[in-house]
Structure 1
Amino acid sequence: MKQVLQNIANGDTNVVDVPCPQSKSGHLLIATSKTLVSAGTERMLIDFGKANFIDKARQQPDKLKMVLGKIKTDGLIPTVEAVRSKLDQPLPLGYCNVGTVLDNGGTGFEVGTRVVSNGNHAEVVRVAKNLCAKVPENVDDESAAFTVLGAIGLQGVRLINPTLGECVVVTGLGLIGLITVQLLRANGCRVLGIDFDSAKCALARQLGAETVDLSKNEDPIKVAEAFSRGRGVDGVIITASTKSSEPLSQAATMCRQRGRIVLVGVIGQEISRADFFAKELTFQVSCSYGPGRYDTEYEDKGNDYPIGFVRWTEQRNFEAVLDMMAAGALDVKPLISHRFAIQDALDAYQCLDDRASLGILLDYPNNDVVALTSRSVQLGSNPATGSTSAICAFVGAGNYASRVLMPAFKAAGASLNTVVTSAGMSAIHHGKKQGFAKASTDYADVLSDQSVDTVVIATQHNLHAQQTIDAIKSEKHVFVEKPLALIESEVDLIEQAYRESETKPKVMVGYNRRFAPHILKMKQLMGSVNGPKTFIMTMNAGEISADHWTQDAAVGGGRIIGEACHYIDLMRHLAGCKITGFNAMCIGDAPGVAVREDKASITLSFEDGSIGTIHYFANGGKDFPKERIEVFANGAVLQLDNFRKLTGFGWKGFSKMKLSSQDKGQKNCSQAFVDSIKQGTDSPINFEEIIEVAKISCQVSQQLRGGQYL
């Protein structure tokens, strides 16, 4: 199927063949008939992509500060690589879609139903149920494609809370502005529209508004005063896009005492207190389509708000817009300026340079359901097969997989066969870049492919255990980006699958730190140590918001099991013997602390009498090293800071080892695993040790959660 993707790094926009997305519970698969290009938002994204690194940094000063901090702790080269990787992600364009349901995902929508959604410009989209709404029979597809933009305008109108007969100004007469004019007129308001474009002003007048044409030097303040009969307007909805704060200042001047101003567009927001103070004006920024936007519980998990408490959600705003179209109160036909087929989408985007363009529609003429729903795309020739050739399939192509693991496996000599992702676009982008033979959205296809002997799992954490079990049962070697599993019973099932396997494929978890050059040196130095050792390992992890997927107990499992497991493995490796006990404690419940588990200390004891403490703290400062490892033994100390500098204190024959850039062992880890497959040697990490660390990690996480499993 075809999809419009943009490269954020350089702004290139292309129509790409991608595999059909996976079906997903609570989501609809929709065969697209029409999409609408959102001129303002999509022009902004394209302009950002085309900007150079300096201009990108200027537009995002908070991100620049993070980059400078990372350079200080990790070094220049790793930081540059991380930034480039972050920018080198395919961005799907578009969010105004209408089509027909192919798969209802158990949502209650009937297959074959016409629906609107915030799906992208793609022949098939997968959208959560709360972001879809059924299209009335008497609303055609072209009109329905305007629904999402209409909901943005409607939410602005709801916030301005107009009453019959009020006079309201709409500043900016683009698509959303012209829709807002009609919505206000339907509410019984008198409307004054303001814009620099004479044609858009003329169109606004056709829709029932009075106008101010700024291109003719008309004074909006004077016109608004006359329009309001000298009383001041009741409210202003700003739908313009400009860096200037002038629209906001004008709005304050136009308003009556206790007038209302709502920002729907993007403008400068330098507010003069004097403008707002004397009149007691209210100013509010509208959030997209309405309540539920950016709430993962509502959008991703499908949990609706009770109608008695939240009357108008995103979905219900979609329905309201469609109802107004069906009743004839909202007519978007005059707003259509261009029509293109999806394969000509690049020509459509050229129209964005013409500020006079309005509604640009993309048409999707392909009715071949078999072709549309194909789950794979061939990118190149398949690698030659061999009994120990390490022919790999990657499941997941997120930032870490694409930036670190794929290049590392390729450099290690693995043959890259298939890359699988849920939505398909990342599989295409990184599949082409890294030289994979095929991009897919079907993991089952990988398992049945006899030419693939190795699976690299880099998906969200809750998927790791079952995907590992499936790979083992398919007699394929498995490299799992940590963690192996989220709960101990999953570890038991993995162990059972391995024991029952006839071929005993290699199972490896990406505990790369034990392969880092500094750790290899530490292990060598400690080879002569007799007797117990003591360890202190500190991870100055930094805050991650409580709503991040890694903090979700059911999806990410929390940061201890997802990241601190690295240090449980590393301490086990350096101790060189089994873990005999542990204790874990996190900070207490306190106001303002959304997550407690990621501020914890974990103490481990070992068979040889060694002990160690892992400090995993998310509440530290960025100026302190992110990772520090200290080993105390034989009257001497080894201290490793941030995998860049290892210092020996009182260590005979060793004082310092420093690298020019950070190396956490990812390349060495991948190389060791690939070599073990090609050479038929033992896995780099013993299977029993992997299971031991996985179980301890699950038990530690359980203890920190108060003894409750997920």
Structure 2
Amino acid sequence: MVLENLITSTTPLIEAPDVYAKLKQSGTGLIALLAYPGKGSAEILTRTTIPTIRKSQKNDRIRVGIVGASGFAKAMHLPNLVRLKNKFEIHAIMSRSGHNALEVSRQFNAQYATTDYEEMLSDKDCDAIIIATRHNLHADQVVRALEAGKHVLVEKPLALNLDELRCIEEFYQANPEGPLLLTGFNRRFSSHARVANELAEARKGPFILNYRMNAGYIPLDHWVHGEEGGGRNIGEACHLYDLFTYLANSECVDVQASAITPASTYHSRNDNFIATLGFKDGSVATLTYTALGSSLHPKEQFDLYVDGQVVSMNDYKSTVVTGRPRMGVSTKFASKGQYEELVAFGNAINTGRDWPIPLWQQMQASKIAIQIEKLISGGLH
């Protein structure tokens, strides 16, 4: 038997689902080859749009394009958008891989899938963009989406350096009534953070906040440590700089940081450090961020000392207030605010009212991260 005689077709990988369906039909052949895109086909692939089954519908929901169908987007943003189907419509999926874009668009019933970001930006039916790509792509993709008139929710970090932040600032200086921008600093939207903020807003004087992040070890050859990720301080700890800014609601006037000196190449300075922030209102917040700890210990904890009370949060599952016992909150699972963040994003677009996070606070948290990166890297960034 000659194997070649059994092959009925050779098809691009992105059309794999259609091929499988055809092979299930009797009499249509035994073998189909899937052609993986090589280096020479990358340019063609980026221009490929893969239409899905559902036809376009007109409604009053916010039509969202997902840029970067990553594991996080598939596990967090897309399921939450489905939960909020009365507010959002998953309009389009964009991914570097045409196959991934097609699969995700079918799974979540999007209008279409594409590998071309420009196609999504030029789509007049797309109201908002959620960016979940590698960190080094965020700032450029944000600016391009804003220039196209799209509201933007971008996963943290907003940018990796001051030049990228400056481009975003310059956009809003030229377009003060421009589209909404929301960086994915979701911790502040958690019910646990809201308990702390209720006391912080009513305080009569400054507070002291100690935050501990038992971040867990990530091998140093992982992308998050490299140029695509910008490191764990900029890529993850920025969450906490935003939380501190949220609670203080004040300008950060002093930034200090110290990192360990690793005994081997196994650990890094950049994910083992202590940062201290001083705010104009007199409040002080410290972050202990480390990859040296045990996974058996809680990942995130903080204690907020304010006006004779102490707010103690444990892994976004339990928050107790010593001095105000009825103010605590308990959740069955870690509640870090991703769902509530999307609700706030949708409400702000629909009402045109205040942004969920003021631009100055998004910028401040990002600038703090960049400044701390310089301090813990010996000024190399």
Shorter chain as denominator, the TM-score bin is 0.7 to 0.9
1:371 and 1:601, CA in 2 relative to 1: closer, same or farther beyond 3 A? closer
- In structure 2, what residue type is equivalent to 1:687? L
Quote the residue 1:697 is aligned against: 369
SS at match of 1:422: coil
**What is the CA–CA distance in structure 1 between the aligned matches of 2:22 and 2:347, rounded to whole Å?**
49
Task: Report if the CA contact (8 A) 2:46-2:116 is conserved.
Answer: no
- In structure 1, what residue type is equivalent to 2:259? C
1:597 and 1:415, CA in 2 relative to 1: closer, same or farther beyond 3 A? same
**Alignment partner for residue 558 of structure 1, among 231, 250, 259?**
231
Q: Deviations over 1:146-175 (max 9, x none)?
A: xxxxxxxxxxxxxxxxxxxxxxxxxxxxxx
Quote the residue 2:345 is aligned against: 673
Residue 361 of structure 1, CA deviation: 7.5
1:441 maps onto 2:145 in alignment: no
Quote the residue 2:198 is aligned against: 524
1:598 maps onto 2:266 in alignment: no
1:682 maps onto 2:354 in alignment: yes
Q: How does 1:620-699 map to 2 (within 5 A)?
A: 620-649=293-322, 651-654=323-326, 656-699=328-371
Quote the residue 1:460 is aligned against: 134
Residue 661 of structure 1, CA deviation: 1.6
Task: Report if the CA contact (8 A) 2:121-2:145 is conserved.
Answer: yes
Quote the residue 2:79 is aligned against: 407
Residue 381 of structure 1, CA deviation: 2.0
Compute the RMSD of aligned alpha carbons.
Answer: 2.7
Structure 2: 5+ residue stretches without partners:
12-17, 25-30, 36-40
**What is the CA–CA distance in structure 1 between the aligned matches of 2:236 and 2:176, rounded to whole Å?**
32
Quote the residue 1:362 is aligned against: 33
1:609 and 1:439, CA in 2 relative to 1: closer, same or farther beyond 3 A? same
TM-score (norm: length of structure 2): 0.87
**What is the CA–CA distance in structure 2 between the aligned matches of 1:482 and 1:363, rounded to whole Å?**
36
- In structure 2, what residue type is equivalent to 1:658? S
Task: Report if the CA contact (8 A) 1:382-1:437 is conserved.
Answer: yes
SS at match of 1:499: helix
Q: How many residues align?
A: 360
1:442 and 1:629, CA in 2 relative to 1: closer, same or farther beyond 3 A? same
**What is the CA–CA distance in structure 2 between the aligned matches of 1:637 and 1:485, rounded to whole Å?**
34
Quote the residue 2:256 is aligned against: 583
**What is the CA–CA distance in structure 1 between the aligned matches of 2:321 and 2:230, rounded to whole Å?**
36
1:542 maps onto 2:216 in alignment: yes
**What is the CA–CA distance in structure 2 between the aligned matches of 1:697 and 1:455, rounded to whole Å?**
24
Residue 371 of structure 1, CA deviation: 9.9
Task: Report if the CA contact (8 A) 1:340-1:348 is conserved.
Answer: no
1:348 and 1:601, CA in 2 relative to 1: closer, same or farther beyond 3 A? same
**What is the CA–CA distance in structure 1 between the aligned matches of 2:335 and 2:185, rounded to whole Å?**
13
1:515 and 1:372, CA in 2 relative to 1: closer, same or farther beyond 3 A? closer
Quote the residue 1:265 is aligned against: none
Q: How does 1:223-372 map to 2 (within 5 A)?
A: 339-342=7-10, 346=20, 362=33
- In structure 2, what residue type is equivalent to 1:705? S
**What is the CA–CA distance in structure 1 between the aligned matches of 2:99 and 2:32, rounded to whole Å?**
22
Task: Report if the CA contact (8 A) 1:393-1:454 is conserved.
Answer: yes
Quote the residue 1:62 is aligned against: none
Residue 349 of structure 1, CA deviation: 9.6
Structure 1: 5+ residue stretches without partners:
1-332, 351-359
**What is the CA–CA distance in structure 2 between the aligned matches of 1:371 and 1:594, rounded to whole Å?**
41
1:700 and 1:374, CA in 2 relative to 1: closer, same or farther beyond 3 A? closer
SS at match of 1:560: helix
Quote the residue 1:609 is aligned against: 282
Residue 372 of structure 1, CA deviation: 7.8
SS at match of 2:270: coil
Q: Deviations over 1:492-547 (max 9, x none)?
A: 11110122226411110011110101111221133332111001111111000111
Residue 606 of structure 1, CA deviation: 0.6
Task: Report if the CA contact (8 A) 2:10-2:32 is conserved.
Answer: no
Residue 452 of structure 1, CA deviation: 1.4
**What is the CA–CA distance in structure 2 between the aligned matches of 1:620 and 1:583, rounded to whole Å?**
22
Q: Deviations over 1:568-621 (max 9, x none)?
A: 000111122121111111111422434221011110001111101111111100
Identity fraction in percent: 31
**Alignment partner for residue 157 of structure 2, among 483, 490, 505?**
483
TM-score (norm: length of structure 1): 0.48
**What is the CA–CA distance in structure 1 between the aligned matches of 2:328 and 2:378, rounded to whole Å?**
42
**What is the CA–CA distance in structure 1 between the aligned matches of 2:176 and 2:250, rounded to whole Å?**
28
- In structure 1, what residue type is equivalent to 2:9? A
- Single out whichever of 608-617 and 654-663 deviates more from structure 2: 654-663
1:612 and 1:361, CA in 2 relative to 1: closer, same or farther beyond 3 A? same
**What is the CA–CA distance in structure 1 between the aligned matches of 2:188 and 2:211, rounded to whole Å?**
13
Quote the residue 2:28 is aligned against: none
Residue 488 of structure 1, CA deviation: 1.0
Residue 655 of structure 1, CA deviation: 6.4
SS at match of 2:195: helix
Q: Deviations over 1:102-135 (max 9, x none)?
A: xxxxxxxxxxxxxxxxxxxxxxxxxxxxxxxxxx
**What is the CA–CA distance in structure 2 between the aligned matches of 1:656 and 1:529, rounded to whole Å?**
17
**What is the CA–CA distance in structure 2 between the aligned matches of 1:348 and 1:538, rounded to whole Å?**
54
1:411 and 1:548, CA in 2 relative to 1: closer, same or farther beyond 3 A? same
**What is the CA–CA distance in structure 1 between the aligned matches of 2:23 and 2:291, rounded to whole Å?**
43
SS at match of 2:342: helix
1:692 and 1:527, CA in 2 relative to 1: closer, same or farther beyond 3 A? closer
**Alignment partner for residue 416 of structure 1, among 68, 90, 104?**
90
Q: Deviations over 1:268-324 (max 9, x none)?
A: xxxxxxxxxxxxxxxxxxxxxxxxxxxxxxxxxxxxxxxxxxxxxxxxxxxxxxxxx
Task: Report if the CA contact (8 A) 1:475-1:503 is conserved.
Answer: no
- Single out whichever of 474-483 and 590-599 deviates more from structure 2: 590-599
Q: How does 1:32-431 map to 2 (within 5 A)?
A: 339-342=7-10, 346=20, 362=33, 375-379=48-52, 380-384=54-58, 389-412=61-84, 413-431=87-105
- Single out whichever of 570-579 and 540-549 deviates more from structure 2: 570-579
Quote the residue 2:244 is aligned against: 571
Task: Report if the CA contact (8 A) 1:479-1:508 is conserved.
Answer: yes
SS at match of 2:297: coil
